Structure 1
């Protein structure tokens, strides 16, 4: 047996293991996931909020907390519930963003600076998740970056029979996952900052990234 022939045959046999087949998923699956993720976590957050409210009511009844009007109680409970939901959605998005950024940057050369990392998110990450790149990127070169998507896919079908204001309010919850995605990708690249979404008009959306001094 020719040793070289045997080695070549063996390498051909092992090639599929060393270079696995790329598996793709239909983009509609992500759309459906985000549509269902918000109400599902909203129900879960509602249960947690109800438990917290019950505990607070017992403490007020015992005189451990000041009394509140029914209107104030309802508003406070609603705000807490929405904040808890937004935090959970961002946490899920951050987990996905961190893992996705690591996978997409695995075979790339080391990023030269912070701007290269931001561009990587605008191009590679956005393309992988929403099949397009960011429409506009602005920066003041002092740690603030603004990413603008003129037709942000998660907001493209949002509407409400209660009017545009209610639709815009609901839209804020549907960008929480994406906000976390950006924050998670930045964290995996070694950047800790805040990401603030803004919705000028549906379906346009901007994400303002603020990084600490020295990171830019």
Structure 2
């Protein structure tokens, strides 16, 4: 990860400017077609992040999107920090 941002109330943004699984990903039909075909390849790392957080007892929703150009990816992680700290 190249950058981590948070709003300190449960939203985290992890940015990877060189996400290796997408390093050589491209469609001969152009950039727009490439972006349409990316979703299945971003679901796995989102599930991985969500699973790791779940194993730590943190419920989350994880979404990914391409930032600017491939292979830069932004992972948006939303947690319910208040519910987690209230349970303790």
Q: Name 2:79's counterpart in structure 1.
A: 211
Higher relative contact order, structure no. (Cα contacts within 8 Å, ≥ 6 residues apart): 2
Q: Which has the higher strand share?
A: 2
Q: Which has the higher helix share?
A: 1
Secondary structure of residue in 2 paired with 1:175: helix
CA RMSD of superposed structures (Å): 1.2
Q: Distance in 1 between matches of 2:53 and 2:25?
A: 28
Q: Deviations over 1:145-182 (max 9, x none)?
A: 00000000111010011100111111221111101000
How far has the Cα of 1:136 moved from its partner? 0.4
TM-score, scaled to structure 2 = 0.88
Q: Distance in 2 between matches of 1:189 and 1:146?
A: 19
Compare CA radii of gyration and give the structure with the larger one: 1
**Does 2:38 correspond to 1:171?**
yes
Structure 1 stretches of at least 4 aligned residues deviating more than 2 Å after TM superposition: none
Secondary structure of residue in 2 paired with 1:157: coil
TM-score, scaled to structure 1 = 0.37
How far has the Cα of 1:213 moved from its partner? 4.4
Q: How many residues align?
A: 83
Unmatched runs of 5 consecutive residues or more in structure 1: 1-133
Q: Name 1:101's counterpart in structure 2.
A: none
